Amino acid sequence: MQRQALVIGNWKMNGSQPLVASMAAALAAQPELLKQVTVVVCPPAVLLTSWCQATSALAVAAGVQDINEHADGAHTGEHSLQLVAEAGAEYVLVGHSERRQWYADSAARVAAKVQQVMAYTEQPVKLVLCVGESAEQRAQQQTMTVIEAQLSSALAALTSAQLSRLVIAYEPVWAIGTGLTAEPAQAQQVHAFIRNWLTNKWGVSGAAVQILYGGSVKADNATALFAEVDIDGGLIGGASLQVEEFLAICAAAQARSR
């Protein structure tokens, strides 16, 4: 089954107005690439409007790195799904390991955030559910158990009609920002496990869900990772802050689409 290649840049707590302008200008020069690869950038929420304005004429999407699990209310400093969607976000990352580790995103909160995204039907915002094991869990051979637990708790209430709005990102915690990338075959093994899990639960529509790899993806390792059968693209941290590097990663995904 042909799944569209997808590359998402996660700027985390980085970026600037000049980076918005230079990244948008570089992408504007690549119309062919944008036909073959879905490119999304998740800047910090305060740069979302600027990103949307800078890319309004381009086939490039905007996303955010998190949302609150409530629809509205007294939650100082937080953003609801509706607020970010109205500001132009078409993709929402949920369950990133940095949020699970440092910002109290428990399995229950992640599941509630998933429900917020899926309950919002004004616009078809896509959910990018991040899963991944720590170094200790891998050393103890718990990788698949951890991934399965993260998938089942986050997606327990998902219906098959909502699957077209789901993307999974496999991000081994030990590979994030460390320069240690999973070997392509090692990543493929987990991607195949996720694909099987989705297929067992939802059949062919489960199999059609895009599964991204994230964790120290760079221009020089992207081609080998994206050549794996179940790796449909990447979720890119550090390298998405460097225009040339990010474009080279998008081009590596373009090779997958041909």
The helix (H) or strand (E) run that includes residue 94 is strand 91-94
Which residues from 176-205 bind ligand 13P, rule CB under 6 A? 176-177
The single residue of 98, 171, 228, 245 carrying the catalytic annotation is: 171
User: Which of 9, 66, 14 has the alpha carbon at shortest distance from 38?
Assistant: 9
For ligand 13P, which residue has the nearest CB? 237
User: Considering beta carbons, is residue 171 or 230 the nearer one to ligand 13P?
Assistant: 171
Print the binding letters for residues 88-117 with ligand 13P: x by CB under 6 A, - otherwise: --------x---------------------
Detail the DSSP E strand segments found in the chain: 5-10, 37-42, 60-64, 91-94, 126-131, 166-170, 210-214, 233-236
For the CB of residue 94, give the shortest distance to ligand 13P in the complex, in Å: 12
Q: Give the C-alpha distances (Å, rounded to integers) separating 48 from 61, 130, 133, 137, 201.
A: 11, 21, 30, 35, 35
Is the Cα torsion angle 23, 28, 32, 36 positive or negative in sign?
positive
**CA neighbours within 13 Å on the CB side: how many for 49?**
4
C-alpha–C-alpha distance, residues 9 and 42, integer Å: 6
User: Considering beta carbons, is residue 88 or 238 the nearer one to ligand 13P?
Assistant: 238
User: Considering beta carbons, is residue 214 or 233 the nearer one to ligand 13P?
Assistant: 214
For the CB of residue 234, give the shortest distance to ligand 13P in the complex, in Å: 8
31-39, 81-89, 229-237, 248-256 -> range binding ligand 13P (CB under 6 A):
229-237
Note whether 238 binds ligand 13P by CB under 6 A: yes
Give 13's contacts (C-beta < 8 A, 6+ positions apart): 44
Query: Binding ligand 13P by CB under 6 A: which of 7, 40, 127, 217?
Result: 217
Query: Binding ligand 13P by CB under 6 A: which of 171, 228, 232, 245?
Result: 171
Known catalytic membership, residue 133: no
HEC string of 43-73 equals CCHHHHHHHHHHCCCCCEEEEECCCCCCCCC
C-alpha–C-alpha distance, residues 233 and 215, integer Å: 12
For the CB of residue 150, give the shortest distance to ligand 13P in the complex, in Å: 15
User: Considering beta carbons, is residue 15 or 206 the nearer one to ligand 13P?
Assistant: 15
C-alpha–C-alpha distance, residues 181 and 178, integer Å: 8
For the CB of residue 159, give the shortest distance to ligand 13P in the complex, in Å: 27
Known catalytic membership, residue 96: yes
- Report whether 84 contacts 92 (CB < 8 A): yes
26-34, 56-64, 214-222, 250-258 -> range binding ligand 13P (CB under 6 A):
214-222
Residues at the contact surface with ligand 13P, assessed by CB under 6 A: 10, 96, 171, 176-177, 214-217, 235-239
